[in-house]
Chains A and B, each alone.
Chain A
Amino acid sequence: MSAAASNPIVRVRGLENRFGAQVVHAGLDMDVYANEIFGVVGGSGSGKSVLLRTILGLRRPDGGTVELCGEDMQRLTRERRAALVRSYGVTFQQGALISSLTVAENIQLPLREHFELPEDALADMASLNLMLVGLPPAAAGKYPAQLSGGMVKRAALARALVLEPKILFLDEPTSGLDPISAAAFDELLLHLHGQLRLTVVMITHDLDSLFRTCSRIGVIVDGRMIADTLAGMLASTHPWIHDYFHGPRARAAMRAAHG
């Protein structure tokens, strides 16, 4: 645990989430430190997306606390909450671009909400963010339905970045992308992480992406989280983690990333 010296920027303690009799999280702890890319993995139905929704305050947990930048999400006043929301950006699994707005309008949406700016300044900022995520200027006037899967993910990233957040939450950013687009997305993420000093929390099933980008990995097993570096994960004796990181796909991905 090399980064443990500083205070965590995301801090989850004793998180519990239940759906009826089904227990998803049973006392889950999670720490994410500034400037790291933290990958969250787990089997299907292990509650990765539920964890993300809980951290973002979209779901009230059945127990435990979530702190973002040192503030307890459940005990925020309206004003503090509004300020905190601007410190993180989120992309959802399907992109979640507003389908009745063009890409440029989607990117400008949070700007219009929070600032009063003239139209040409808004257009400038939209084109800046399009360039940051590597989309061509022609994408600005297109509607989400006219974009390919990879472009949707990039446009969603541009929207998440437009308020210049400190933390970026990504829910399966490379799922549904072809290997070339997925690899390009990984490089983009590393590039932005380096340039913009972002902290990234990324849910992913994509082993290539996990090995290429993440500095630490958190595995959700049995409703709890075990977090470690990749090397630590490889040495783990927990059966599920061992299977995950020593399966044929994992080995192949690792060879590709490090060999």
Chain B
Amino acid sequence: MEALALERGNDGWRIRLNGDWSLAAMPKIDRDLRALNLSLDAPLICDWTHAAAPGIAPAWALLRRIARMNAGKFPVSHLGGPGVLDLLERLTAGEGAPAAAESKPPQEGAVRALGRWTLQQAVEARGAVGFFGRMVSVIGETFSRPRALRPSSIVRHVYETGITAIPIVSLIAFLISVIVAYLGSQQLSKFGADIFVVDLVTISVLREMGVLLTAIIVAGRSGSAFAAELGVMRLNEEVDALRAMGMNPVEILVLPRVLGLLIALPLLTIVADAMGLAGGGLLSLVDLHIPLPQFISRLREALAPTTFWAGIVKAPVFAVLIGMVGTYRGMQVRDSARELGRLTTVAVVQSIFMVILADALFAVVFMKLDF
């Protein structure tokens, strides 16, 4: 059954509304109303007596439809309509052009978009440099005011970013070095050079993989945590509250996190190095039957004095990168939960990218220096 039937009587038009006119029937009512096509040339009566449980939105849709057909402003009356009709008719009368949602900005040309993007990058870069500068100036202040270092806060962040990360960092360093040792032994045994697996594991773990893996895991764990924590604090206006109370959010929120990570990451790297060597040793023992004493003496020969330091010296740099990117992105959050998610993602992706970029630079510099 149609939701409405239109008839022409002697005295004008008559719309009979049938069946369910509640909100639940809205899709059907909407379809039937669209099918209604007529230009009124006489008064109209809406007969609501057969409409069950008329809702607000269906009544509204009907009134709108009638208003659109009624260019000649013929009188429209209602028979037994719902109480809200008065209210709705007042609303239609007061309403101008239907409000089109202007939520989407107009499409812009490619050149314009490129320009906007470039400007945005420049602004971002300026913001990042400014943030770094603010942190450096806060560090400068701490020399004259050591209390600003907030040791208890730093200790908490060493615990959260370092101690609690030991299990996962150990496990991953161990497994990766087992994999490297295994793949290496497959190749090297073809030349009868099994023993060089020890060199391979030692150098790759100590120089590169220990610190790089640790930094990437920490970027995923703590970089995201920094961004999310600070982001929620921004959304709750906690950061503004600190500033309003005359405290420096960079000093209170950013510095302890960066310094905590600065302490934790080198220590974690040492753990990762040890676990990596243990993994290499275990595989050499099981797969290549190199006994542990022989593994250790070979390891000593393979080690240059700089091998360990070439890895560990990178850890503080990575720590600062991860800490800065995470806190910076967190401080950028404003207005909405979506921003929080976006900037947390950006924090992780960028800190991992920065770590790898820095590692590449280190590789080039160390090679030139013959370190």
CB distance from B258 to the nearest CB of A (A): 29
Check if B26 sits within 8 Å of A115, measured CB to CB. yes
Asked if B102 lies at the interface with its beta carbon under 8 angstroms from chain A, I say yes
Q: Give every chain B residue within 8 A of A34 (Cβ-Cβ).
A: none
Q: Point out the residue from B26, B83, B101, B335 that lies within 8 Å of A195, measured CB to CB.
A: B83
Check if A125 sits within 8 Å of B337, measured CB to CB. no
CB distance from B50 to the nearest CB of A (A): 20
- Chain B residue nearest in CB terms to A126: B101
Check if A195 sits within 8 Å of B87, measured CB to CB. yes
CB distance from B23 to the nearest CB of A (A): 5
**Cα of A10 to Cα of B10 in the assembled complex, Å:** 50
CB distance from B319 to the nearest CB of A (A): 33
Residue interface mask B323-351, A partner, CB < 8 A = 1: 00000000000111110000000000000
CB distance from A123 to the nearest CB of B (A): 6
Check if B99 sits within 8 Å of A140, measured CB to CB. yes
Residue interface mask A113-149, B partner, CB < 8 A = 1: 0011110010111111011100001101101110000
**Cα of A145 to Cα of B333 in the assembled complex, Å:** 13
Q: Can you list 6 A-B pairs with a CB-CB distance of less than 8 A?
A: A102-B103, A115-B26, A117-B30, A121-B26, A128-B56, A140-B103
Q: Give every chain B residue within 8 A of A132 (Cβ-Cβ).
A: 56, 87, 91
Check if A196 sits within 8 Å of B56, measured CB to CB. yes
**Cα of A124 to Cα of B98 in the assembled complex, Å:** 8
**Cα of A162 to Cα of B56 in the assembled complex, Å:** 9
Q: Point out the residue from A99, A104, A131, A164 that lies within 8 Å of B101, measured CB to CB.
A: A104
Check if B27 sits within 8 Å of A99, measured CB to CB. no
Asked if A251 lies at the interface with its beta carbon under 8 angstroms from chain B, I say no
B interface residues, tally (CB under 8 Å): 31
Check if A164 sits within 8 Å of B99, measured CB to CB. no
**Cα of A195 to Cα of B27 in the assembled complex, Å:** 24
A interface residues, tally (CB under 8 Å): 32
Check if A121 sits within 8 Å of B30, measured CB to CB. yes
8 further contact pairs, Cβ within 8 A, besides A100-B338, A105-B103 = A121-B61, A123-B98, A127-B98, A132-B87, A138-B99, A163-B23, A195-B84, A196-B56
**Cα of A99 to Cα of B335 in the assembled complex, Å:** 8
Q: Give every chain B residue within 8 A of A116 (Cβ-Cβ).
A: 27
Asked if B296 lies at the interface with its beta carbon under 8 angstroms from chain A, I say no
Check if A164 sits within 8 Å of B103, measured CB to CB. no
Check if A100 sits within 8 Å of B336, measured CB to CB. yes
Asked if B168 lies at the interface with its beta carbon under 8 angstroms from chain A, I say no
Q: Give every chain A residue within 8 A of B23 (Cβ-Cβ).
A: 163-164
Check if B60 sits within 8 Å of A125, measured CB to CB. yes
Q: Give every chain B residue within 8 A of A140 (Cβ-Cβ).
A: 99, 101-103
Asked if B247 lies at the interface with its beta carbon under 8 angstroms from chain A, I say no
Check if A143 sits within 8 Å of B91, measured CB to CB. no
Q: Give every chain A residue within 8 A of B84 (Cβ-Cβ).
A: 195-196
CB distance from A17 to the nearest CB of B (A): 26
Check if A164 sits within 8 Å of B55, measured CB to CB. yes
Check if A143 sits within 8 Å of B336, measured CB to CB. yes
Q: Which of A125, A162, A196 has the most CB of B within 10 A?
A: A125
Chain B residues at the A interface, C-beta cutoff of 8 Å: 22-23, 26-27, 30, 55-57, 60-61, 64, 83-84, 86-88, 91, 94-96, 98-103, 334-338
Check if B27 sits within 8 Å of A145, measured CB to CB. no
CB distance from A84 to the nearest CB of B (A): 14
Given the known inter-chain contacts A117-B30, A143-B335, please indicate yes or no for A127 contacting B103, CB distance below 8 A. no
Q: Point out the residue from B96, B103, B335 that lies within 8 Å of A145, measured CB to CB.
A: B335
By Cβ-Cβ distance, the 6 closest A-B pairs, closest first, are A137-B99, A99-B336, A145-B335, A100-B338, A141-B103, A141-B102
Check if B102 sits within 8 Å of A124, measured CB to CB. no
CB distance from B3 to the nearest CB of A (A): 14
Given the known inter-chain contacts A121-B30, A196-B84, please indicate yes or no for A128 contacting B57, CB distance below 8 A. yes
Given the known inter-chain contacts A127-B99, A138-B99, A141-B102, please indicate yes or no for A118 contacting B338, CB distance below 8 A. no
Check if A131 sits within 8 Å of B95, measured CB to CB. yes
CB distance from A72 to the nearest CB of B (A): 23
CB distance from B36 to the nearest CB of A (A): 14
Check if B56 sits within 8 Å of A123, measured CB to CB. no
**Cα of A127 to Cα of B99 in the assembled complex, Å:** 7
- Chain A residue nearest in CB terms to B57: A125
Asked if A197 lies at the interface with its beta carbon under 8 angstroms from chain B, I say yes
Residue interface mask A163-195, B partner, CB < 8 A = 1: 110000000000000000000000000000001
**Cα of A99 to Cα of B334 in the assembled complex, Å:** 11
Check if A130 sits within 8 Å of B99, measured CB to CB. yes
**Cα of A127 to Cα of B64 in the assembled complex, Å:** 12
Check if B27 sits within 8 Å of A115, measured CB to CB. yes
Q: Give every chain B residue within 8 A of A118 (Cβ-Cβ).
A: 30
Given the known inter-chain contacts A115-B27, A117-B30, please indicate yes or no for A123 contacting B335, CB distance below 8 A. no
Q: Point out the residue from A115, A126, A164 that lies within 8 Å of B56, measured CB to CB.
A: A164
Check if B101 sits within 8 Å of A123, measured CB to CB. yes
Q: Point out the residue from B55, B60, B87, B335 that lies within 8 Å of A124, measured CB to CB.
A: B60
- Chain B residue nearest in CB terms to A128: B60
**Cα of A105 to Cα of B26 in the assembled complex, Å:** 18
**Cα of A125 to Cα of B121 in the assembled complex, Å:** 40
Q: Give every chain A residue within 8 A of B99 (Cβ-Cβ).
A: 123, 127, 130, 137-138, 140
Check if A164 sits within 8 Å of B83, measured CB to CB. no
Q: Give every chain B residue within 8 A of A197 (Cβ-Cβ).
A: 83
CB distance from B311 to the nearest CB of A (A): 43
**Cα of A128 to Cα of B84 in the assembled complex, Å:** 12
**Cα of A117 to Cα of B344 in the assembled complex, Å:** 36
CB distance from A112 to the nearest CB of B (A): 12
Residue interface mask A204-235, B partner, CB < 8 A = 1: 00000000000000000000000000000000
